[in-house]
Amino acid sequence: MSDQLKKRKILIVEDDQSLLQMYSDKLKQEGFNVVFARNGEEGLALSASEIPDLILLDILLPKMDGLSMLDNLRTNSEWGKNVPVIILTNLDADDQVIAKVIADKPSYYLMKANTNPQGVSEKIKEILH
């Protein structure tokens, strides 16, 4: 990985401890600076204070769901309007979810069941390149 990518900060917003650990470990191994939150409220606060280069965001979260966090980020922050976001979820996307995701322009939508940490890392590198 290039030195430029190694300095990049990734915010993971995930409430499942084992998944959080797995993705965090992989991204740190790849040289990324990783910060994490376990709910949408914490994720929103951390995104404002840490200004990550990319956000890996679950949809089903306590306190504030991922779509509400994303909407808030896109609406209330100049920086947040353009930060790349990868939705990483097990939620089956119905029409309402897809419409919401499209409206808030994430960079990518990944199903947890169909991906692995290496695939997520590759997608992050592709987006940040």
Per-residue model confidence as pLDDT tens digits over 85-126? 988 877 666 555 666 666 656 667 777 877 888 988 998 998
Is 127 part of any domain? no
Is 43 part of any domain? yes
Is 81 part of any domain? yes
CA 15 remoteness from chain centre: 12
Is 128 part of any domain? no
Q: How many residues does the chain have?
A: 129
Mean pLDDT computed over 5-31: 91
Q: 35-85: per-residue pLDDT in tens?
A: 999 999 999 999 999 999 999 999 889 999 988 999 899 888 888 888 999
pTM, full prediction = 0.87
The yes-or-no verdict on residue 31 having pLDDT over 70 is: yes
Residue the block writes with tokens 């947890």? 112
Is 70 part of any domain? yes
Number of domains observed in the structure of the chain: 1
pLDDT of residue 2: 52
Where in the sequence is the domain holding 22, given as residue range(s)? 3-122
Q: Are 34 and 28 in contact (CB under 8 A)?
A: yes
Mean pLDDT computed over 18-44: 95
Residue the block writes with tokens 């994720």? 43
CATH number at residue 114: 3.40.50.2300
How many Å apart are CA 129 and CA 126, to the nearest integer? Answer: 5
Is 47 part of any domain? yes
How many Å apart are CA 27 and CA 79, to the nearest integer? Answer: 23
